[in-house]
Amino acid sequence: MAFYNKKGTNLKKDLTETTVKHVISAEKLPGFRQENKAQYVNRMFTQIAPTYDRVNRLMTFGLDQGWRKTVVAEARLKAGERALDVATGTGDIALALAHQVGSRGKVVGSDFCLEMMLPGPAKAAKAGVGGIVQFMAADAMRLPFASNSFEAVTTGFAMRNVTDIERAFSEMCRVVKPGGRVVCLEVARPRWAIIRWGHQLYFNRIVPMLGRLISGHGEAYTYLPESARNFPPPEELKRIMERAGLTQVSYRLYGLGAAAIHLGVKPSTPGRRDF
Ligand SMILES: C[S@@+](CC[C@H](N)C(=O)[O-])C[C@H]1O[C@@H](n2cnc3c(N)ncnc32)[C@H](O)[C@@H]1O
């Protein structure tokens, strides 16, 4: 598995190697029937990559960056430690992790979509953490890292997109060190009916319109509310993380319940579950 180089050639090679063929049950997504989910998701993020950051900021009124900072705080990293950000996209969480671990530490941002990661190195250099973060093409379903490699593993707005959520968490649990933390940021549905109604209206109607206007790819932003609708609610996600091997799993809701941050710990004794 090669690391990022300036021309992105190694990443491109890795991308084809790691874009695996997963077949999942028929989801009613536009254009979905001709492709499997991994290919569909990869193609979609390739299309929207150039405008991803801009649409995200607009869509969440800038709240997304605050949520990412909370993810990093919850990872509880110390200077000199190693962290992995799975499905890092344009790398915002990875960059924030790098500030946490400092120049003696190491952060890997991995994703299976090369185009999403392309802005990462320049963003890292601009933020003064270019030497700390490495971007790497990797499928979340089979992470190319040895077991017990990182003090913490994070992931943001990605679990909606994978073909098997439990397997993705099993992989994160495998590569984190015993006692290390796995932190996940994802969308959720507000609990209060009136807020949920407003949220759904915004997510189902305004977001696709905004996304289409800015990125020119309406399909991708129709997929977004669709994938959120199909995503397990926070309590169920907690159980999935526990089944994947994590202990002390807890979560908190943010943005009036529009986002959830889940946290789990890898048991110190292999196979032991503290619940
Ligand atoms: C909504 S973006 C989130 C990016 C970033 N984590 C953030 O907080 O903005 C979802 C990312 O998940 C990546 N992704 C989806 N499925 C993946 C998989 N199986 N393996 C690796 N990356 C995946 C996509 O390529 C995309 O970059």
Q: Where in the chain are the domains?
A: 9-265
Ligand 1 first shell, C-beta below 6 A: 38, 41, 45, 87-89, 92-93, 111-113, 116, 139-141, 156-158, 161-162
CA-wise closest residue to 100 among 122, 126, 68? 68
Q: Please give the average per-residue pLDDT across 5-22, as a whole number.
A: 37
Cβ-Cβ contacts under 8 Å for 52 (sequence gap 6 or more): 45, 89, 90, 116, 215
| Type of residue at 248 | Q
Res 21 pLDDT > 70: no
What is the pTM for the complete model shown?
Answer: 0.85
Burial 180-211 (b: 16+ CB within 10 A, else e): bbbbbbbbbbbeeeeeeeebeeebeeebbeeb
What is the whole-number distance in angstroms between the Cα of residue 269 and the centre of ligand 1?
31
| Alpha-carbon span 126 to 229, nearest angstrom | 36
What is the whole-number distance in angstroms between the Cα of residue 46 and the centre of ligand 1?
11
| Alpha-carbon span 222 to 7, nearest angstrom | 32
Q: What is the pLDDT of residues 103-113, one digit of tens each?
A: 999 999 999 99
Would you say 96 and 74 are in contact if contact means Cβ atoms under 8 Å apart?
A: no
CATH no. for 9-265: 3.40.50.150
Q: What is the pLDDT of residues 58-76, one digit of tens each?
A: 877 778 889 999 999 999 9
| Alpha-carbon span 217 to 194, nearest angstrom | 30
Atom of ligand 1 nearest to the CA of 91: 5
Would you say 2 and 13 are in contact if contact means Cβ atoms under 8 Å apart?
A: yes
What is the whole-number distance in angstroms between the Cα of residue 102 and the centre of ligand 1?
24
Res 32 pLDDT > 70: no
Provide the pLDDT confidence category of residue 271 given band limits of 50, 70 and 90: low
Report residue 250 as tokens: 């807890």
What is the whole-number distance in angstroms between the Cα of residue 34 and the centre of ligand 1?
21
Average pLDDT of the chain? 85
Mutate to test the pocket of ligand 1, among 42, 112, 224, 261 (most ligand atoms within 8 A of CB): 112
Atom of ligand 1 nearest to the CA of 113: 25
